[in-house]
């Protein structure tokens, strides 16, 4: 089979700390790298333009799902590798993708994502293997889910093979960054769920948060990840609490909305 060409696609906003690491990992596998940036205020644009294979496009942020669909439409090639700016291909995954380029058979391919949190690889807490589709033929997929959690979904029922190797996900700069994102993502998620008609009883706020902690720490083995496993499980419960409090608050503010 003829060797295919791949467009790597990333959306960015103020990613100067991460983007070079991600771009470097793509140089051997991508024939072009499409960056759709939401007018970053840091050096993201300057860094990206230093790579000859980068096609840099600025577009006002329109939502994670919408922005990712827009970014896919900017790719020159029909075979697309989707990454976030804080994600990096391991050498093993890089080799797997190169082999797939030379013998493309399926519509989509999936692989695991391994989060690096405060310098530690997290292999429990419900965070690993975190298998997702990242490599696809463009007209066989679409971005869906609920903001801020965009998910790449197939529009057919074909088999999705699993490639060897991991994406390394450098998720947070530290605890402060994690807390900031819990708040911002929780608000976005709550608004999307409120719009969809989701309702939460105030009496379930604490039990639901406690359930999240127990599930991640005990049943999903968060305790095996030591101190940062405990931190992640506590903050996951806190994130659920924040999201659901916001849903309750929105219903109190707009009692006749739904």
One-character DSSP codes across 56-122: EEE-----HHHHHHHHHHT-SSSEEEE--TTEEE-HHHHHHHHHHHHT--SSEEEEEEEEEETTEEE
Rounded Cα distance, 138 and 7, in Å: 10
Is 212 a residue whose pLDDT tops 80? Answer: yes
pLDDT score at 254: 86
Instruction: Find, among 112, 104, 111, 113, the residue nearest to 140 by Cα.
Output: 104
How many of the other CB atoms lie within 10 Å of CB of 161?
A: 13
Is 222 a residue whose pLDDT tops 80? Answer: yes
pLDDT score at 159: 87
- Domain 6-172, CATH class in plain words: alpha beta
Q: What is the mean pLDDT of the chain?
A: 94
Give the list of residues 6+ apart from residue 2 with CB closer than 8 angstroms, or none. none
- CA 235 distance to own-chain centroid: 18
Give the list of residues 6+ apart from residue 7 with CB closer than 8 angstroms, or none. 30, 31, 32, 33, 34, 75, 76, 77, 79, 80, 81
Helix (H, G, I), strand (E, B) or coil at 150: strand
Is 1 a residue whose pLDDT tops 60? Answer: no
Angle between helices 226-253 and 205-214 (to 10 degrees): 160
Percentage with pLDDT > 70 across the chain: 98
Is 66 a residue whose pLDDT tops 80? Answer: yes
pLDDT in tens, 71-95: 999 999 999 999 999 999 999 999 9
pLDDT in tens, 107-166: 999 999 999 999 999 999 999 999 999 999 999 999 998 878 889 999 888 889 999 999
pLDDT score at 27: 97
Asked which of 41-55, 96-110, 187-201 is least confident by mean pLDDT, the reply is: 187-201
What separation in angstroms does the CA of 69 have from each of 135, 136, 146, 175?
A: 14, 13, 13, 31
Domain boundaries, the chain: 6-172, 175-253
Rounded Cα distance, 171 and 86, in Å: 6
Residue with tokens 């577009």: 59
In this structure, what token pair is assigned to residue 223?
């305790």
Q: Average pLDDT, stretch 15-19?
A: 96
In this structure, what token pair is assigned to residue 161?
């093979």
Rounded Cα distance, 78 and 2, in Å: 14
């Amino acid at each position: 089979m003829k060797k295919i060409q791949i467009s790597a696609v990333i959306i960015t906003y103020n990613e100067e700390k991460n983007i070079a690491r991600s771009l470097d990992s793509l140089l051997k596998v991508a024939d072009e790298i499409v960056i759709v940036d939401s007018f970053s205020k840091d050096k993201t644009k300057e860094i990206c333009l230093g790579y000859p294979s980068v096609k840099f496009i600025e577009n006002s942020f329109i939502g994670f799902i919408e922005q990712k669909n827009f970014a896919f439409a900017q790719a020159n090639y029909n075979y697309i590798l989707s990454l976030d700016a804080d994600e990096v291909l391991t050498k093993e995954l890089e080799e797997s993708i190169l082999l797939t380029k030379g013998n493309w058979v399926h519509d989509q391919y999936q692989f695991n994502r391994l989060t690096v949190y405060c310098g530690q690889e997290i292999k429990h807490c419900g965070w690993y293997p975190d298998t997702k589709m990242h490599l696809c033929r463009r007209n066989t997929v679409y971005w869906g889910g609920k903001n801020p959690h965009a998910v790449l979904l197939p529009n057919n029922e074909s088999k999705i093979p699993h490639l060897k190797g991991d994406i390394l996900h450098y998720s947070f700069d530290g605890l402060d960054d994690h807390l900031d994102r819990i708040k911002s993502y929780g608000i976005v998620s709550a608004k999307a769920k409120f719009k969809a008609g989701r309702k939460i009883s105030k009496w379930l706020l604490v039990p639901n948060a406690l359930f999240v902690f127990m599930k991640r720490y005990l049943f999903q083995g968060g305790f095996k990840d030591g101190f940062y496993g405990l931190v992640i499980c506590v903050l996951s419960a806190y994130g659920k609490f924040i999201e659901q409090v916001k849903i309750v608050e929105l219903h109190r503010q707009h009692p006749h909305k739904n």
